[in-house]
Chains A and B, each alone.
Chain A
Amino acid sequence: MKRVAIVGAGITGITLAWHLVKAGCQVDMFENGPEVPYPYAPLFEAEVLYANQYAPPRPSFPAPLPLDIKNISQTGDYAGDLQQERIMCVGGQATRWFAVTPRIRPEHFRSFSLYGYGRDWPISYEDLEPYYSRAEAHIGVSGQSDNPFAPRRASPFPLPAFALSYQDRIFAEKLKARGIITHTTPQARAREDYDGRPGCQNFGECERCPVGARYSPNHHLELLRGSKRFALHANCLVRRIIVENGKGVGIAYHPEHGARQIEHRADVVIVAAGAIETARLLLLSKASGIHSEGLGNASGQVGRNFGMHHVWWNELAFRDPVMPGRAGPPTLLSHQFTLPDKGGGGGGMTVEMFDGVPQGAILSAERKQYVSGKASLDALRPFIYKRALTVNAETIPSDDKYVALGHEKDRFGDPFAAVTYKLNDFDRATYQRAQRLVDRFGAALGADSISRGAIGQFWSAHHHLGTCRMGESLRDSVVDSFGALHETSGVYVCGGATFPTVTPLQPTLTMVAFATRSADRIAEQLAG
């Protein structure tokens, strides 16, 4: 039986494990973080039902890792905290997400050829389309074909869409009258019972769904546990990929983060540990010869081309109540502006009017320490007149966006990752375009006022991408479109780390599609 070692138990790693076990492989999965209970009812209790400004979740989910196991340094323009954003646990970042799952448009695979910026991907939308369909079926995507900007699809969505909210429909009509097209949001939240998961009951807190209606990779992990061909190793720090005679043959890891190091041999090693930790592990896996600067790094590409989404949060205020928060957050959406603005400059962007719970307003009211129910109510009242308008923007790589090894070291003496991230001219032009769109939406909806996010207040949405980008050759990329390292056989990188650019569409469905495609290729090669 062929043995596969997967580093990282996030949505990419677990998707790979699922398909490879089905294909007859023995899969061992290694995760630095702990397990979390699934479904997330305990997390929901701690963080939703019984949470507030004053009572931090206890126990926390996942349990925090010590700073000499998980740490990072960051410099540049990103005000967010990458240490906090990297959720190291079994299930990874997709233990907490809104599960918005659009497909990337065909044009985004060819941004350099079509628009002269970024980089072309070494694969077309048409090549990936069958895997998009399989990915949607795998994670249970609810959606409908009401988006005129969505790419061609060969099969219908596996589940019906979530309807727009009452207020969404009012907004959609006003926007349509001013030439702005909106539509429902495709999302991995089960509209009906699906694959052993219950249908959504609209708790309104999709990020911490208590019942499993929102997809989590832990769903498939629970199914995998019944297989003798699958083993999960949580709380294990993988320090090195072992290469012998130009081929990856295993990993070296420390169970329970202890002093004992174990070598685990495998026919194929897959690294799916997120863009930052994947780059770090490759850089740490130095060896002689072409690996002297790290595995896969003969041309110095590992760690470069790091990218994040730029999400700018704006708020529209209205004269009449708009009553936000009645639905699960992902509702009204526009993909009309996901291609670049040829006239005014700037990249593409998704514009979202999610009907989510205004957590910020609630937390803000709590912080003010009111003295009675009446005063608290008065403090909350303004939020019913407001609706968030977020812009999820495309970004492109540049020399000042990269991951390297830093000065601080972990308990075993290995350097932690150091991230440098500085905005470039493309990002600034994209922000200006975003502001023009915010004005346009505000005017179309008759907003009384607009509260804007400043350019430096962008949020990554925890979408950390690039660092091991896919491409045709070793000269300017790290892996091929299947994730295979150019310079070494037997080692794959999968997940968002391989994305050549950061499109304006949420990346997770595309990561699952690529993982499915890579699993097919790996199983085929191992069988041959």
Chain B
Amino acid sequence: MVNGAIAAGLAALAAGGWKMRHHPPPREVPTSGPTGKLDAATLAVLMAVARTLTERDVLQGHYADYYAYQAENRPGYLGVYRAFVAALAAEIASGTPEDFARKTMAERWAVLERIGGSSVSRRFDVPIIQETLAVFMRTDAWLLLGYADWPGMARGLENYTRPLPEPARS
């Protein structure tokens, strides 16, 4: 089932994806607005988005840390995150935003696709989509490329002097 969902998600990606299928208007980067703590429901939706974009069923906590940091430190992000959840709610015909997290990957991707093609996409492309992928590129992508860890972690002074495991490098 999970594999099927991933395959469906990948098929959606192959068909286009958030940006390539649609041609969104110029994107917005939040610059003003209140900062504050993320509520659990909003964070759960954002984590579901991250799982979808990165095609991973389980993510470590650094994505949650990232969203929380942005909400608490960068003006405007908290409001965008909440607006995004509201846009999801409007997009989902039945149920609550929290239901988004319980959908299959293919279903989640389909919802993102619809929002990506809507008039509100310019608000969400940078802070939700591109930044989530940026977190991925600086963390999990390193593991997928064959590294044992990623920069920014306390990696110790021994591992870097040894070869990486062969399978990971192939």
Chain A interface (Cβ < 8 Å from any Cβ of B): 44-46, 48-50, 52-55, 58-59, 162-166, 191, 199-205, 321, 323, 325-327, 355, 357, 362, 365-366, 369-377, 379-381, 384
Asked if A54 and B74 sit within 8 Å, CB to CB, the answer is no
Name B's A-contacting residues (CB within 8 A).
10, 13, 16-20, 29, 53-56, 62, 65-66, 69-70, 73-75, 126-127, 129-131, 133-138, 140-141, 144-147, 151-157, 159-164, 169
Q: How far is the CB of A357 from chain B (nearest CB, A)?
A: 4
B130/A54 in contact, CB under 8 A:
yes
Question: Which residue of A48, A202, A321, A365 is within 8 Å of B155 (Cβ)?
Answer: A202
Q: State which of A202, A365, A375 has its C-beta within 8 Å of the C-beta of B156.
A: A202
Q: Is A326 touching B160 in the complex (CB atoms < 8 A)?
A: yes
Q: Which residues from chain A contact B161 at a C-beta distance below 8 Å? A: 163-166
User: Can you offer 16 A-B residue contacts whose CB atoms are under 8 A?
Assistant: A48-B151, A49-B69, A50-B65, A52-B135, A199-B157, A201-B155, A201-B157, A369-B19, A371-B18, A371-B20, A371-B133, A372-B53, A372-B55, A373-B56, A376-B133, A384-B145
Query: Which of B66, B73, B126 has most A Cβ within 10 Å?
Result: B73
The minimal Cβ–Cβ distance linking A355 to chain B, given in whole angstroms, is 8
Once the chains are docked, how many angstroms separate the CA of A389 from the CA of B82? Answer: 46
Q: How far is the CA of A366 from the CA of B130 in the complex (A)?
A: 8
Q: Which residue of A lies closest to B66 (CB)?
A: A50
Among B138, B140, B159, find the residue whose CB has the most chain A CB atoms closer than 10 A: B138
Q: Are A58 and B134 in contact (CB under 8 A)?
A: no
Given that A46-B73, A166-B161 are contacting pairs, would A54 and B134 also be in contact in the complex, using a CB cutoff of 8 Å? yes
**What does DSSP make chain B's interface, helix, strand, loop or mixed?**
helix
Do residues A373 and B141 form an inter-chain contact, with CB atoms below 8 A? yes
Among the listed B56, B127, B146, which residue makes an inter-chain contact with A54, where contact means beta carbons less than 8 Å apart?
A: B127
Of the residues B17, B154, B164, contact of A203 by C-beta under 8 Å: B154
If A45-B69, A205-B152 touch, whether A380 touches B17 (CB-CB below 8 Å) is no
- B152 contact set on A, CB distance < 8 A: 44, 48-49, 203-205
Q: Judging by beta carbons under 8 Å apart, are A201 and B154 in contact?
A: yes
Shortest beta-carbon distance from A488 to chain B in Å: 48
Seed contacts A203-B155, A355-B160, A373-B136; 8 additional CB < 8 Å A-B pairs: A54-B126, A54-B130, A55-B74, A202-B156, A369-B19, A372-B55, A373-B56, A376-B137
A378 to chain B, nearest CB (A): 10
B157 touches A323 (CB 8 A): no
Note all chain B residues with C-beta closer than 8 A to A376: 133, 136-137, 141
Grouping DSSP codes into helix (H, G, I), strand (E, B) and loop, the A interface class, with mixed when no group exceeds half, is loop
Q: Which residues of B contact A163 (CB under 8 A)?
A: 157, 161
Nearest chain A CB to B33 CB, angstrom units: 12
Is the pair B147, A374 in contact by a Cβ cutoff of 8 Å?
no
| A365-B137, A373-B141 known; A166 vs B74 contact (CB < 8 Å) | no
Q: Measured between C-beta atoms, what is the minimum distance from B152 to chain A in Å?
A: 5
Task: With CB as the reference atom, state the residue of chain A lying closest to B127.
Answer: A54
* Nearest chain B CB to A107 CB, angstrom units: 33
CA distance A49 to B129 in the complex (A): 18
Question: Measured between alpha carbons, how far is A164 from B160 in the docked complex, in Å?
Answer: 9
B72 to chain A, nearest CB (A): 10
> Which residues in B have their C-beta under 8 angstroms from that of A325?
147, 151
Q: What CA separation (Å) do A52 and B139 show in the bound complex?
A: 12
Q: Quick check: B29 and A54 within 8 Å, CB to CB?
A: yes
* Contact A377 B53, CB 8 Å, known A54-B134, A362-B138, A371-B19: no
Which of A44, A166, A380 is close to B145, meaning CB atoms less than 8 Å apart? A380
Closest chain-A Cβ to B108's Cβ sits at a distance in Å of 12
Give the docked Cα–Cα distance between A372 and B147 (Å). Answer: 20
Q: Which 7 A-B pairs have the closest CB atoms?
A: A52-B134, A371-B17, A204-B151, A373-B54, A201-B154, A326-B160, A202-B155
Closest to A163 in B: B161
Nearest-neighbour CB distance to chain A for B7, whole angstroms, equals 12
Contact partners of B20 in chain A: CB under 8 A: 371
How far is B135's CA from A191's CA once the two chains are assembled, in angstroms? 29
A202 near B133: Cβ-Cβ < 8 Å: no
Nearest CB of A to B3, in Å:
15
Given contacts A50-B69, A380-B137, contact A323 B130 (CB under 8 A): no
